[in-house]
Chain A
Amino acid sequence: DAGITQSPRHKVTETGTPVTLRCHQTENHRYMYWYRQDPGHGLRLIHYSYGVKDTDKGEVSDGYSVSRSKTEDFLLTLESATSSQTSVYFCAISRDEAYEQYFGPGTRLTVT
């Protein structure tokens, strides 16, 4: 398995609170991605990073921000969590944007 960990693996939080999810890789891959998975939607891209301090928005970026201060870490922050952000969040990495992506184990987030 690719060396990707996500923390926490499960979180329950209240509406309006900030939440930060962490993705850590040991593969030294340049590209990192955050997706959310919801029933019937497959995976949808939230944000991605193509290097340290280089990030861009995906298709469902509203309400989310990201930061990448080191190659190995990519943080996803929900500024003020809402119930619609209840989902399973996956981090992925790839050596290059055209290459296959490898996925972490996921974080199940519940916003009450």
Chain B
Amino acid sequence: AQSVTQLDSHVSVSEGTPVLLRCNYSSSYSPSLFWYVQHPNKGLQLLLKYTSAATLVKGINGFEAEFKKSETSFHLTKPSAHMSDAAEYFCVVSDRVDNFNKFYFGSGTKLNVKP
């Protein structure tokens, strides 16, 4: 069965330090993978996507993620956290089920950025 596991429900970092949000997935074939960000009381915004091109994907606001097929991981990183990065982040895998590309959402990681 397809699934997405976000390994940390909460991550806390200091401003200016690196961010690592972990995501592992299971998929029946080569999936598409996404990271979305949700600020409080807002909709989800696409950060970046992997669709079988380069394994290192760069997104908006300095975020990037690396697709590692051998580890079935798609971890999100940023070299230096900013206060405005405080939000909830969702890892999403798109997989084909019953002739339809279904999105599977992780349960989310809340990022706290301390001054």
Q: Which residues of B contact A8 (CB under 8 A)?
A: none
Asked if B49 contacts A100 (CB within 8 A), the reply is yes
Asked if B103 contacts A45 (CB within 8 A), the reply is yes
Q: Which residues of A contact B100 (CB under 8 A)?
A: 56, 97
Asked if A42 contacts B108 (CB within 8 A), the reply is yes
Of residues 1 to 30 in A, which have CB atoms within 8 Å of B's CB atoms? 4
The distance in angstroms between the C-alpha atoms of A56 and B101, with both chains bound, is: 13
Q: Looking at the complex, which one of B32, B42, B102 makes contact with A45 (CB distance below 8 Å)? A: B102
A102 in the interface (beta carbon within 8 A): yes
Asked if B32 contacts A103 (CB within 8 A), the reply is no
Asked if A100 contacts B101 (CB within 8 A), the reply is no
Q: Which residues of A contact B90 (CB under 8 A)?
A: 42-43
Identify the B interface with A (CB < 8 A).
4, 32, 34, 36, 41-46, 49, 90, 94, 100-103, 105-108
Identify the A interface with B (CB < 8 A).
4, 40-45, 56, 90, 92, 97-98, 100-106
Closest A-B pairs by Cβ, 9 of them: A42-B105, A103-B43, A97-B101, A103-B44, A43-B105, A105-B43, A42-B107, A98-B101, A100-B46
